[in-house]
Chains A and B, each alone.
Chain A
């Protein structure tokens, strides 16, 4: 059973470009979470999605950031018109709904560098 898969692992963008980060949850997981981690800092919650629904986006900036988790395919975190302050590691995590053990399974992260 493959773990949470994130790609790309590293992404370099120039200011003003768009960044798309993908996350495929573990098989059987229908809950996806995105977190941002700045260097030497903790995890900051961004958004929580279930299939085709955004459950909680309270941690996501209102502008330039969006997320989706379609019925088919990976979850996508999209950052438009990136700025240097968007440089960070973005982690995706997934969990099951039924038979919940409570554990979040994390991907290896996508490191975004904005030049």
Chain B
């Protein structure tokens, strides 16, 4: 069974600095998707970034980028130039498609606080 582990329950970073959130996963699959979701205090989950496992190039979205190490089963999120609005819970997620069904597994989350 697939598992997703986020080993950092809480982190903080100074505004404008860079922070990296870690995520590891366990799977025997070769093709899958990985995601980082953000849940701000307003509580609605929104997608931050997505990575297809078959792509070697790391995904980037503006200030957000990932370090995807497939062999190590690692998928860390780097936030550059942190802003106060980045304060949120961040969830790493794994998705595998099989026979028209799609199963998502979420990590337990990392609470990030950006300090002024």
Distance to closest chain A CB from B114 (angstroms): 19
Complex Cα gap A104–B102 (Å): 10
Asked if B104 contacts A109 (CB within 8 A), the reply is no
* Count of A-B contacts judged by CB separation below 8 Å: 60
Residues in B whose Cβ lies below 8 Å from that of A31 = 101-102
Instruction: Tell me whether B52 is interfacial, beta carbon within 8 Å.
Output: yes
The 8 Å CB contact of B43, one of A102, A105, A108, is A108
Kindly state the interface size class of chain B when it binds its partner: 20 to 34
Residue of A nearest to B107 (CB): A42
Tell whether B25 is near chain A: CB-to-CB under 8 Å. no
Query: Are the CB atoms of B33 and A102 closer together than 8 Å?
Result: yes
Taking a contact as CB atoms under 8 Å apart, the answer to whether B102 and A89 are in contact is: no
The 10 A-B residue pairs with the shortest CB-CB distance, nearest first, are A102-B33, A106-B45, A42-B108, A42-B109, A43-B106, A108-B44, A55-B101, A103-B47, A102-B95, A109-B43
11 extra A-B contacts, CB within 8 A, seeds A102-B33, A104-B93, A106-B46: A31-B102, A42-B109, A93-B45, A95-B102, A102-B35, A102-B50, A103-B35, A107-B44, A108-B44, A109-B43, A109-B44
